[in-house]
Structure 1
Amino acid sequence: MIRMLLRVLGPRYSRPMQRTLALMTTTAVVEGLSYALLAPVLRALLGGTPERAWPWLAAFGAALAAYAVLRYLSDLSGFRVGTALLRGVYHRLGDHLARLPLGWYGSARVGEVSVLAGPGVLQAMSVIAHLLAPFVSAAVTPLTIVAVILALDWQLGLAALTAVPVVAVIQILTGRSTAAEDEERATRDREATARVVEYLQAQPVLRAGGRTAERFRLLDDALQQVQRASRRSTLSALPGVLGLTLTVQAVFTAVLALGAYQALGGNVGAAELLTILVLAARCADPLLSLADLSGKLRAARGELSRLEAVLSTEPLPQIPGTAQQSGHALDVEAVTFRHDGHTVFDDLSLSVPEGQRLAVVGPSGAGKSTLLQLLARFYDVDAGTVRVGGADVRAIGPEALMAQFAIVFQDVYLFDGTIEDNVRLGRPDATAAEVREAAAAARLDEVVERLPDGWATDVGEGGARLSGGERQRVSIARALLKDAPIVLLDEVTSALDPVNEAAVHAGIERLMAGRTVVMVAHRLRTVRHADRIVFLDAGRIVEEGTHDELLGLGRRYADFWNLSQATTATTGISEPTEGAGGRRRLRSGADAGERGGAAVDAEASA
């Protein structure tokens, strides 16, 4: 447990912990040794010269005072170091998470890390402030007392010593028997938390479909699983608690009986016997507290192991040396990439000259979004090379690499803050005029004008107080403000209503102007003006060319195009309009359009 804690803290933060541990151990030893002075005190008081007890009483008082000071200092050090290390661990965890590949952050992973970074770290670090001192005292003080008893009477000392291996075996067996149950309980807790969040987020769709009762049964089942897991965890720890209690009581009774026998036989004096009985009673209390401490330590150990697993995750390696870039062209050379045991790409090659637009189309699951993630190095390829400006992305520092990309995804995440705060994430040092210019280019100014608080509007966690179209405009404004030379677009208009789509298209056109662009879209009319189009299927390029060339081939792309046109004709959705008329349409139908976008986003997320 302590070794794991030191590993989690790391070399930088483990030294204060080691000093605190040494101080707590010294305190426990001094406490045990101070009881040894009871023997000469009682010997003098029960003998014929009670006045000789004063020096020993003074020594005993000095020892207790020293113990009190050490205990105060060790407890104070535990709280101070625990608070400092809590901050240090948060910094270490944050720094490590910032260096992990972005592809590591799946939906389940984000929830796990958010729980770990909240109550998980607090519970793990509470060991230092609240559990470490009692645990050291419960382990070291009895051992010191047993050594004192051995010095007073070796037979009684051996009798007390028999408790040590028995208690150690009970603790080890209890830890092993409860490990699986504790892990299952933690898993059930996470699943129940996810069900609660799911139930709350899905309320609009569930109520619209009349499925509220069914969803409640799923949540109820998850909570019942938590209850069963908690019961099994408690029952699995019960034999250890009973075994520890019986062992301590049995050994104490044996010492008491053996001491009485020794006293009746004249082999041990009354003062020594009373001292040994006091020491045995004092030894029993911390041993009995081990049962309660062990349960708390096991819970903290579970959080520590999960924290250690995250901290031991290796970040993406970087090729040593300085990368020499020339321009902002993109090249994918003979790339093979596997994810979750599935081969996504096998010997894939393509290039995007600087300043040109490449559109990637194809069926779902073809690897389109994965291609964008490899370009931005969310993952490392298994074979081949991804180059930016002629340099291997593995030889470019993470910050330098990401500075060259402006990425707009379909699922936009906004931080809990104002609209202006979220736009400024693209370039925090931008002036107010630059922020307003980017907002105007993204048509975000229209949204800001009709909101009561304007730029100071709080978007809520994840941007929940804005519709899908409004969130997309914030994302585009953020990308425009960043002014990166390479733009990656992933299905940015697939879930928008026509009004928002027109506004987003206008912002996207401004964003793509003069930049190297790779775009993924299901609505093929958004890619018809690309310099080149590749049709991706099962991780391979099956067609490549311009829009007119691919239509002339009459193959896969042409089929997709014809299907897209047929869907447009059926739904009555026309091409987005530009110009003053388009802007008048946006203004007159803004509220209805945004409400429609919000409804679509709510159903899509559910």
Structure 2
Amino acid sequence: MTTDTRAPAGPAHAAAEPVAGLAKPGALARLLAPIRAHLVACAILSALSSASGIVPYIAVAEIARVLLDDPDGARRAIWTWVGIGAAGAGLWLVLLVQSSRIGHYADAAILHELRGRIVRHLGALPLGWFRAAGSGQVKRSMTGDLEEMHEVIAHALGQLTGAVTVMTVASAYLFVVDPPMALIVLGVLALMAVFYRISMRSMTTHMNRLIAADQRISAAGIEYADGIQVVKTFGTGGRVLRRFDDAVDEHTQAFAAWVAEVRRSSAASRLFGSELAVLAVVTAAGLAFVDRGTLAVADLVAFLVVAIGLPNSILPAVTAMQGVRKGRMGAANIERLLARAPLPEPAHPRRPDGHGVEFDRVRFSYDGVTHAVDGVSAVCRPGTVTAIVGPSGAGKTTLAGLLPRFYDVSDGAVRIGGADVRSIPSTELLASMSLVFQDVALLRDSVAENIRIGRPGASDAEVREAAVAAHVHDVIERLPSGYDTLLDAGGGSLSGGERQRLTIARAILSGAPIVVLDEATAALDPDSEAAVQDALATLAVGKTVLVIAHRLHTIADADQILVLDDGRLAERGRHDELLAGGGLYARMWAAQEGVLA
């Protein structure tokens, strides 16, 4: 019989549990279908193991009954029960090991398959989805959700099956010994179940409130950590910390409200589910029946040996049921991710004739109602630089994102070399362009490998040439291990400008004929900006270049400037022409020059 002494979950135990009502029924079963046979075998072995595990307790009870009923002639029967108990213990261990082995094997197999499916599916999703969802959803699916499924496969299934088996076998034995006493014992445990259900009836409401508070705490904490320099420099820490304190207060109030509502029912469930309660009831009722002559002392001993351990068999079942709820939640999240529509691949692929870019009456909407880009037309010729500028929210990044198919247009077309980007295979489309963003993405790998991503087959010499062209070679040489220095996702000791030049070296190495720069210098100090601008000038030679710019002086020499306003093309021309026109661009320029002055 199991000796798990964990208490049934009340607020203190369930606070981290996902809300079961949010889970999608059937998702877990569908994802685990490939290992169903293994799970059935695991459940059967677990049931047999648990049944064998209770045999030694029954054997002890029977030895006590034999000694009390026939102390003189009990020797042979005692040794028979000793043998039965020992055999049960041995069989319990063998079956437990086999059940665990099959369960963990099935767990490793299905999680390996699911990770492969998720990774392959992520590779087929539109890039715009990643920018919208961030890394949080991917991380949750690859780690947290799969971990919840692991708990179901490797642990919860065996615990639940074992607990049900122990309860069934033990209850059957107690009914054979004395039905009235067995009913009393089960009545105590039934009261525990009733109060537990009462304590959990409002779990969904309270958990939704707690989850919302947790999210606010996380957001406020990240905001404070990420903006620590600004907070310390400008003294805004009090306001940021107030948001964090408010979120903590909300979490505390939510938790206190739950505790206040369920404290009595939770305490009652713990009381009736304790060994002490069963011991007290069995002893009191048993002695009363013994005094009345309806229960033998030997039978009372059997209840004291077997019934007392039943609460410890129920508690793993409670834990397992919570694990199944979380597993269903994780499976539903994974299934929703796998159900996301991949980027459509062309049925009849076309090859671009050149690398000129054309936006032809392009419209795009995120919500199907409001157009983030509305009727924009422009031609970007090879060897030229096209700058896209405009107020915040004008649609600059959205327009540029339609070129690599972060999103597909709602209307109109985006073409490269006369071919609609939707008719170009996605791998070929992305290989034709280098994308440099304000947010630098580095891998946990060496400096050389971070650059070599641009062209995986490049030699060390070619990697160094790209670094020299990006004005970052000298920086790399000063690192502890040079090009072999390992970086983390944040770039280690590299500054923002140095990390940016590293990604530019990656883009130079790729040799792609189209370059898209999304505010690549917006967050840099003047010295870093100058170095990055030099690197970008090298990258742009002979390419079709699209630049999303916030600092207008960085694109004053562009061949054409597209000025967007509320998703529409408000102006088009060169820097001098737009200044002379006195429109939106001229006002933006005057505003920035006034600030700089």
Query: What is the TM-score of this pair, normalised by structure 1?
Result: 0.76
Q: Secondary structure at the match of 2:563?
A: strand
State the shift of 1:310 in Å.
6.1
C-alpha separation in 2, matches of 1:81 and 1:188: 37
Distance 1:409 1:284, change over 3 A: closer
- 1:235-254 equivalences in 2 (<5 Å): 238-248=263-273
Q: Secondary structure at the match of 1:462?
A: coil
C-alpha separation in 1, matches of 2:262 and 2:545: 60
State the shift of 1:211 in Å.
3.6
- 1:52-63 equivalences in 2 (<5 Å): 52-63=77-88
Q: Percent identity?
A: 33
Contact 1:409 1:492 in 2 (8 A): yes
Residue 199 of structure 1 pairs with residue 224 of structure 2:
yes
| Equivalence for 2:340 | 314
State the shift of 1:30 in Å.
3.7
Higher mean alpha-carbon deviation, 375-384 vs 294-303, is at 294-303
Residue 287 of structure 1 pairs with residue 317 of structure 2:
no
Residue type matched to 2:228 in 1?
Answer: Q
Given candidates 354, 377, 390, the residue that maps to 2:405 is: 377
- 1:154-233 equivalences in 2 (<5 Å): 154-160=179-185, 162=187, 169-232=194-257
| Equivalence for 1:25 | 47
Residue by residue over 1:154-199, the C-alpha shift from the partner in whole angstroms, topping out at 9 and shown as x without a partner, is 5555555556765555554444423343444344344334433433
Residue type matched to 1:321 in 2?
Answer: A
C-alpha separation in 1, matches of 2:44 and 2:428: 44
Residue ranges of structure 2 left out of the alignment (5+ in a row): 1-19
Residue type matched to 2:150 in 1?
Answer: M
Contact 2:124 2:343 in 1 (8 A): no
Q: Secondary structure at the match of 2:202?
A: helix
Distance 1:6 1:207, change over 3 A: same
Q: Secondary structure at the match of 2:402?
A: helix
Residue type matched to 2:454 in 1?
Answer: G
C-alpha separation in 1, matches of 2:323 and 2:253: 21
Residue 479 of structure 1 pairs with residue 504 of structure 2:
no
Residue by residue over 1:133-152, the C-alpha shift from the partner in whole angstroms, topping out at 9 and shown as x without a partner, is 44443333213322344455
C-alpha separation in 1, matches of 2:560 and 2:520: 19
| Equivalence for 1:409 | 437
Residue by residue over 1:324-353, the C-alpha shift from the partner in whole angstroms, topping out at 9 and shown as x without a partner, is 223345454554433367431345455545
Given candidates 537, 558, 566, the residue that maps to 1:538 is: 566
Contact 2:434 2:515 in 1 (8 A): yes
- 1:165-564 equivalences in 2 (<5 Å): 169-232=194-257, 238-248=263-273, 274-288=301-315, 293=319, 297=323, 300=326, 304=330, 307-308=333-334, 311-312=337-338, 314-319=340-345, 321-327=347-353, 328-333=355-360, 335-339=362-366, 342-352=370-380, 357-388=385-416, 393-394=421-422, 397-448=425-476, 454-457=482-485, 461-463=489-491, 465-524=493-552, 526-527=554-555, 530=558, 532-544=560-572, 554=581, 556=583, 559-561=584-586, 563-564=588-589
Contact 2:518 2:547 in 1 (8 A): yes
| Equivalence for 1:586 | none
RMSD, aligned α-carbons:
4.4
C-alpha separation in 2, matches of 1:516 and 1:465: 33
Q: Secondary structure at the match of 2:440?
A: coil
Residue type matched to 2:310 in 1?
Answer: C
C-alpha separation in 1, matches of 2:421 and 2:52: 59
Higher mean alpha-carbon deviation, 136-145 vs 74-83, is at 74-83
Residue type matched to 2:534 in 1?
Answer: A
Distance 1:451 1:304, change over 3 A: closer
Q: Secondary structure at the match of 2:434?
A: strand
C-alpha separation in 2, matches of 1:15 and 1:334: 56
Distance 1:442 1:11, change over 3 A: farther
Residue type matched to 1:101 in 2?
Answer: P
C-alpha separation in 2, matches of 1:24 and 1:88: 25
Higher mean alpha-carbon deviation, 461-470 vs 125-134, is at 125-134
Residue by residue over 1:19-50, the C-alpha shift from the partner in whole angstroms, topping out at 9 and shown as x without a partner, is 43443233234445676667876665524753
Contact 1:361 1:368 in 2 (8 A): yes
Q: Secondary structure at the match of 2:490?
A: helix
Residue type matched to 1:196 in 2?
Answer: G
Contact 1:27 1:70 in 2 (8 A): yes
Residue type matched to 1:518 in 2?
Answer: L
C-alpha separation in 1, matches of 2:362 and 2:330: 38
C-alpha separation in 1, matches of 2:101 and 2:215: 34
Contact 2:46 2:158 in 1 (8 A): yes
State the shift of 1:367 in Å.
0.3
| Equivalence for 2:162 | 137
| Equivalence for 1:64 | 89
Distance 1:452 1:265, change over 3 A: closer
Distance 1:58 1:391, change over 3 A: farther
C-alpha separation in 2, matches of 1:109 and 1:170: 42
Contact 2:278 2:307 in 1 (8 A): no
State the shift of 1:370 in Å.
0.8
| Equivalence for 1:590 | none
Contact 2:62 2:81 in 1 (8 A): yes
C-alpha separation in 2, matches of 1:14 and 1:188: 38
Contact 2:220 2:240 in 1 (8 A): no
Contact 2:382 2:542 in 1 (8 A): no
Higher mean alpha-carbon deviation, 374-383 vs 107-116, is at 107-116
Residue by residue over 1:371-395, the C-alpha shift from the partner in whole angstroms, topping out at 9 and shown as x without a partner, is 1222222234445554555555556
Distance 1:254 1:505, change over 3 A: closer
Residue ranges of structure 1 left out of the alignment (5+ in a row): 573-606
Contact 2:578 2:585 in 1 (8 A): no
Residue type matched to 1:286 in 2?
Answer: S
